[in-house]
Structure 1
């Protein structure tokens, strides 16, 4: 994980048809990620989105 990614640990992710998750955006505040999540759920109700806290360690 880069230093820039460490500054924005909150991630909005989308579930892909393959069962994997794709990152949509990174945010420094949980409230910003939740706001984007609400917007995505309103615009694309057929897709599954989640807000997660990225705890990936550096060097992985």
Structure 2
């Protein structure tokens, strides 16, 4: 099971994350392309303008 999750997250390295503090984040969704992640981020920013959201390349696989 662990290997499947790592492979799956490797396919989608771009992530939209919500930051709660400098060390605490939650991955909202993952994408294969940067443009898809940016599009999703734009929608989320309209829905949650107060949230600290960002697109990152998530190489740190959990």
TM-score, length of structure 1 as denominator length: 0.85
Q: SS at 2:59's partner residue?
A: coil
Bigger proportion of residues as helix: 2
For structure 2, which runs of at least 5 residues remain unmatched after alignment?
A: none
Number of equivalenced pairs: 56
Q: SS at 1:13's partner residue?
A: strand
The alignment yields a C-alpha RMSD, in angstroms, of: 1.5
TM-score, length of structure 2 as denominator length: 0.82
Partners of 1:4 and 1:24 lie apart in 2 by 15
User: Which runs of 4 or more aligned residues in structure 1 lie more than 3 Å from their structure 2 counterparts after TM superposition?
Assistant: none
